[in-house]
Amino acid sequence: MTILAQNNALSSVVAIIYCTLCALALASHAKTTFTDPGSIPHSAVPNEDDGGNHHEFPMCSVCETYKPKYCHHCRICNRCISGMDHHCPWMNNCIGKGNLKHFTLFLVYVWLASAYALVLFGLNYFLCNREECTFPDVLVQLVRIMTVLCIGAFYFTSNMIISVLWGIVTGLGIIDRMKGDVVQEAPIPWKDVFGIQHYFTWLLPIDPVFEDYDRVMKYSTVPRLLREKKMEQ
């Protein structure tokens, strides 16, 4: 895209928009990789709404920690993840409650960048028969390679976006849907994915602020429970 702009085939504004989408996609990828997806700590205990008053509650046989609903143990990461959707090899991390926003943004920005590039390649290369659309051989090969990569990225991210949206609507991740024996009562609120900040922050790869962290993660800790009781008094 930059070389096309340098050859005056595209406006510099067009190239800037594409580079911005790529930068946001890379930032979202980094946040997904390095953000805790929602690991269940050893000090985790049930919320009061999830059976905190019970003496017995489900435990992970591997981690030996509290295992809330829709939590799964990842054999690769060797830890339990709250709201685990799947383990993503491209991210080298699990996708869970803690980084679902960043993963969703990554998919969306890659999808937009791929679609944007395919449209520009079509208008300025494949469907253009004007004299100014004649490019050097190196640039022609680069456009062809980029077209193949963009088609693959567009197809992959389209499927993953549908899967993520379906998971938000049904409240069930890929693992839960594969099991087929779990039924969700209601969809996941958007604020439980993107946070309660201003809407423009939903588009940025920054950590979301949840209205009730314990409710979203479906676990609490003894210090947090004691602090909440003091605040209620």
Placement of tokens 């809330």 in the chain: 68
3-class secondary structure, 38: coil
Q: Which of 60, 77, 88, 128 is catalytic?
A: 88
97 token code pair: 């409650």
Q: Distance (Å, rounded) from C-alpha 127 to C-alpha 153?
A: 22
pLDDT tens readout for residues 206-219: 999 999 888 899 88
pLDDT at 173: 87
Whether residue 124 is predicted with pLDDT greater than 90 in this model: the reply is no
Region class of 11: left (phi > 0), else alpha (psi between -120 and 50), else beta? beta
**Residue % of the chain over a pLDDT of 90:** 49
For 150-208, the pLDDT digits (tens) are 999 999 999 999 999 999 998 888 888 888 756 666 789 999 999 999 999 999 999 99
**pTM score over 0.85:** yes
Contacts of 115 (CB under 8 A, 6+ apart): 150, 154
- Which pLDDT belongs to residue 195? 94
The CB-side HSE value for 63 (13 A sphere, CA atoms) comes to: 23
**With 70 as the cut, is the pLDDT of residue 226 above it?**
no
Amino acid identity of residue 37, one-letter, is P
- Phi (first) and psi of residue 79, to 5 degrees: -160, 160
Q: What is the mean pLDDT of residues 130-134?
A: 64
60 is catalytic: no
**What pLDDT does residue 64 have?**
85
